[in-house]
Amino acid sequence: MDRAVVVQNLVRDFGALRAVDGIGFDIKPGEVFGLIGPNGSGKTTTLRVIATLLKPSQGRVEVFGRDVVKEALAVRRLVSYLPEEAGAYRNLSGIDYLRFMATFYAADTVARDKLVERAVAIADLGRRIQDKVRTYSKGMTRKLLLARTLMSNPKLAILDEPTSGLDVENAMVIRQRIKEFAAQGTTILLSSHNMLEVEFLSERVALLRQGRLIALGSPEELKVRWAAQNLEEVFLKAD
C-alpha cells in the first residue's frame, strides 16, 4: 500500500454553504501530514469525512484502500480520531475512563488491560491517573484524550487541533507524543490553525482557505516557492 489516504475532488456542502470545495491530496503510510488554515477553512470538515463521520457531497476518499462511504466500518477499524472539542467523562477517574474506552477495542479483559497499560504510559499523568477527570487541568485532560486516541495503535491517527488552548509545557508534551508515534510507523493527520506548530511536526502540509486547497508540499518546498521564512508567510502570499 503506497498511500494511506487518498482524497480526490472532495466537496462537502451544508445546504447552500460549500465548506470544502474540490480539494485533493494523498498521505503516505507513516507520514505526518498537516492541514493548515484559519477557522472556517474546511479543515475539520475534511477530517470528519476521512474519519467517516460525514459523507462527501462529491468526490472520493480512501483510507488504506478502503472507501470511506462504501467501506465505512472497515475504515473505522483503522482510524482513531481526536476532535478539537473532545471531552472525557468527568465523574470517572482517568484510569476508569481509559478502562471503559478500552472495552471498545479489546476482545477480552487481558487485551483490555494491555491497552490500558499502554494508555497510562502515553498519558504519563503519574498518580493523578487515579483522580477524577473533573479535577484535571485542560492539559491533563488533553493528555488523557490523546492516550485514548493512540492506545489502540491505529494505522491512522486523526488529530484536530491537538494542542489548542494548552500552555507551552503541555503543548510540548503532546507534540513529543505525536513525534514518537510517527517514528513507530503510525500515520498522523493533524489539523491546526497554528501554522508554526504544523510546520514543526509535519513532513508535508496542505494549506486551505475558504474550503479550497491553495498550496501543497513539504514546509521547505513551500517556503522556497514563496520566498517565505515560515508557513504563516506562505499562507499570506499564496493565492
Chain segment 147-158, per-residue pLDDT in tens: 999 999 999 999
Q: Residues 187-232: pLDDT tens digits?
A: 999 998 888 889 999 999 999 999 999 999 999 999 999 999 999 9
Strand partners, 33: 189, 204
Backbone phi and psi for residue 28, each to the nearest 5 degrees, phi listed first: -85, 150
Residue with cell 487515579: 130
Quick one: 121 and 57 in the same domain? no
Quick one: 104 and 197 in the same domain? no
Q: Residues 191-201: pLDDT tens digits?
A: 988 888 899 99
Quick one: 223 and 108 in the same domain? no
Domain count, the chain: 2
| 3-state SS assignment for residue 19 | strand
Percentage of the chain exceeding pLDDT 70: 100
Residue with cell 481526536: 82
pTM for the model stands at 0.93
What are the b/e assignments for 27-51, b being 16+ CB within 10 Å?
Answer: beeebbbbbbbeeebbbbbbbbbbb
Quick one: 52 and 129 in the same domain? no
pLDDT of residue 1: 62
Looking from the CA of 41 toward its CB, the CA atoms found within 13 Å total 18
Range(s) of the domain holding residue 122: 87-153
Q: Residues 56-112: pLDDT tens digits?
A: 999 999 999 999 999 999 999 999 999 988 888 899 999 999 999 999 989 899 999
Q: What is the mean pLDDT of residues 13-26?
A: 97
